[in-house]
Amino acid sequence: MKKSNIVALVIIAVALAAIVSMVGDFSSYQTFATAEAKPGKEYQIIAKLDTFQHAMEYNPIVDPNRFTFYAKDESGKTCKVIFSGTKPQDFERSEKLTMTGKMENGEFHCNQILMKCPSKYKNDQVVVGKKS
């Protein structure tokens, strides 16, 4: 083989490796079980608010940047979620929640919530909390 062919193959291999590594970094939606397997890594999880068995906790006098609730992911697992921000308006009316955060000590610590609200109420809302 010519040296120019070898150099071209090396450049193509490096380019493919770079593309594959970048694609691996794009996050897809995960479950609480996946986040629990790798605590400390940030994930996006789609879930529904679980108010039938668990109550929401928000006391702005004690801590206005702590909102706690339970959510059930698409696999059916329910987990306690701690949002580092104020309770979003019309939170109870949301159909689905897309939460960004990481699992710590069996609780999902969330710093961003995208609420999918029924169209008769409001458009989708994004709520961003403080980084913990």
- Residue of 85, 81, 87, 97 whose CA lies nearest to 131: 85
**What amino acid occupies position 36?**
E
Does residue 76 sit within a domain? yes
Task: Please report whether residue 20 resides in a domain.
Answer: no
Mean pLDDT of the chain: 82
Nearest to residue 43, comparing CAs of 53, 32, 51? Answer: 32
- Tell me the three state secondary structure of residue 55: coil
Position 59 in a domain? yes
In degrees, rounded to 5, the angle at the alpha carbon of residue 94 between the alpha carbons of residues 93 and 98 is 165
Number of domains comprising the chain = 1
Q: Whole domain around residue 44: which residue ranges?
A: 28-128
pLDDT in tens, 104-118: 998 999 999 988 876
Tokens 């955060």 found at: 101
- On whether residue 9 sits in a domain, the answer given is no
Look at residue 107 and tell me if it is in a domain.
yes
Residue 97's domain is classified under what CATH number? 2.40.50.140
Reported as a single tens digit per residue, the pLDDT across 6-39 is 888 888 888 887 776 665 545 578 889 888 888 8
| pTM of the entire predicted model | 0.68
